[in-house]
């Protein structure tokens, strides 16, 4: 199916096959009319996130509720908790502690008596794009944990499938933009740079998943381009072009949705 590309494919054959298998899994377990009619591309604009709040705690909670709403999980019971602050790696203007411990950006925990807890790192609140991506990933954990079958390759691949699931829910722009962060910093007595990664997929994998989302909804990628990092715009166009030259979309559209045998919310899951 992928041998017709004249240019080098965006992803390896194995990575592409995993994306296709994961989208089939998502469509089979969580697709149907709701996905095709109600799931939309969420963008980092005031139209989607209009609130200007007075505190970081308030911003964290309001953003979480907004992401839940766009994910179609507004009524799913879960509790949001703030993690402990990370240790400051800089102990002096020119001295930094190597490998200083830092908490995860977020966690998903299914506790006893069906209690679901999602946590967030308070540092991530200062980066709204990463905050939305973190919430989308953890809510995708919640969703996919209710599936009727394990993800492709088994539960060892759950984190990778969960990243794709966040794009499936409409948050692909946030996932792609937050996959790799390079930052320069300066203050009165020091300056330098740092980088961080979030999620489990590479930027190219996130962008390819976003292109599949567009293809499934028969949408042009132009609406995402103004909101993507400059380095990702051509990659999205390439991905969309490659997908259009294969039977990938027809293969995915042929997947039949299998409704769950029970209502997840009524069951307290």
| Tens-digit pLDDT profile for residues 153-175 | 999 999 999 999 999 999 999 99
pLDDT of amino acid 83: 95
**C-alpha span between 116 and 112 (Å, rounded):** 9
Does residue 87 carry a pLDDT above 50?
no
Give the number of other CB atoms < 10 A from CB of residue 76: 17
pTM value is 0.84
In tens, the pLDDT along 208-265 reads 999 999 999 999 999 999 999 999 999 999 999 999 999 999 999 999 999 987 555 4
pLDDT of amino acid 50: 82
User: What integer is the mean pLDDT of 102-125?
Assistant: 88
Does residue 188 carry a pLDDT above 50?
no
**C-alpha span between 151 and 162 (Å, rounded):** 9
Using a 10 angstrom Cβ sphere, with 0-12 exposed, 13-18 middle and 19 or more buried, the burial of residue 62 is: middle
**C-alpha span between 139 and 168 (Å, rounded):** 12
Q: 33, 26, 24, 71: which is closest to 170 by C-alpha?
A: 71
């Amino acid at each position: 199916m992928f041998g017709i590309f004249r240019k080098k494919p965006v992803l390896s054959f194995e990575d592409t096959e995993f994306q296709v298998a994961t989208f089939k899994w998502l469509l089979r377990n969580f697709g149907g009319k709701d996905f095709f009619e109600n799931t939309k591309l969420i963008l980092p604009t005031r139209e989607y996130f209009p609130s200007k709040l007075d505190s970081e705690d308030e911003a964290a909670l309001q953003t979480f509720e907004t992401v839940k709403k766009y994910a179609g999980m507004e009524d799913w019971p879960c509790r949001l908790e703030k993690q402990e602050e990370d240790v400051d790696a800089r102990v002096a203007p020119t001295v930094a502690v190597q490998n200083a411990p830092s908490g995860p950006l977020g966690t998903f925990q299914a506790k006893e008596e069906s209690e679901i807890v999602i946590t967030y790192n308070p540092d991530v609140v200062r980066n709204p794009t990463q905050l939305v991506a973190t919430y989308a990933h953890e809510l995708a954990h919640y969703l996919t944990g209710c599936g009727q079958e394990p993800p492709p390759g088994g539960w060892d691949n759950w984190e990778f499938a969960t990243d794709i699931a966040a794009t499936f829910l409409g948050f692909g722009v946030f996932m792609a933009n937050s996959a790799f962060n390079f930052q320069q910093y300066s203050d009165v007595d020091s300056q330098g740079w740092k980088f961080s990664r979030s999620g489990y997929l590479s930027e190219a994998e996130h962008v390819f998943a976003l292109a599949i989302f567009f293809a499934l909804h028969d949408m042009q990628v132009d609406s995402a381009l103004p909101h993507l990092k400059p380095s990702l715009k051509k990659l999205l166009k390439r991905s969309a072009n490659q997908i259009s030259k294969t039977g990938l979309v027809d293969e995915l559209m042929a997947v039949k949705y299998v409704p769950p045998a029970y209502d997840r919310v009524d069951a307290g899951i």
